[in-house]
Amino acid sequence: MQDTVVYSGYLNTYQNDRKLHYVFVQADTDADKAPLTIWLNGGPGCSSLIGYMQEVGPYIVGDTYKFGEDLKKNQYRWNRASNMLFIESPGAVGFSTDKNPEINYNDRQTADDCFVAIKDFMWNIAPEFTNRPLYVRI
């Protein structure tokens, strides 16, 4: 089995002072042909890293917090068949950032930011996915 390839960074939103953190995991096999699945955890304020680290990501983080015993390959990982994009939203959740501490998020704001972030990923970071099947898990 090949090593799991993981990327992380920030995606743009409608607001210049707000960035959404993402983790991208390549598919285990045929990553250059596999579809893209976007994972958005429910909210409000629920980090998609929960999905990444406890549900469908390549590894499961344990709860013993002992070196060598916490990180296990997830036998149910979705990246066996699909490239996975985990986006933390809204801004200020998890590692996402927002310089405006007074913002009150709502579903519309969060959806608009995610839409811009997905376009940023698809057009600027990984345009090779624009012609592949796309799945969104909300």
Please write down the HEC assignment for all residues of 86-122. EECCCCCCCCCEECCCCCCCCHHHHHHHHHHHHHHHH
- The per-residue pLDDT for 54 is 87
pLDDT of residue 91: 84
Give the SS3 label for residue 124: helix
Tell me what pLDDT residue 1 has: 46
Q: 33 to each of 8, 36, 82, how far by Cα in Å?
A: 21, 9, 9
pTM of the entire predicted model: 0.90
Residues of the chain with pLDDT below 70 are 1-2, 43-45, 63-69
Token pair for 63: 């709860």
- pLDDT at res. 100: 82
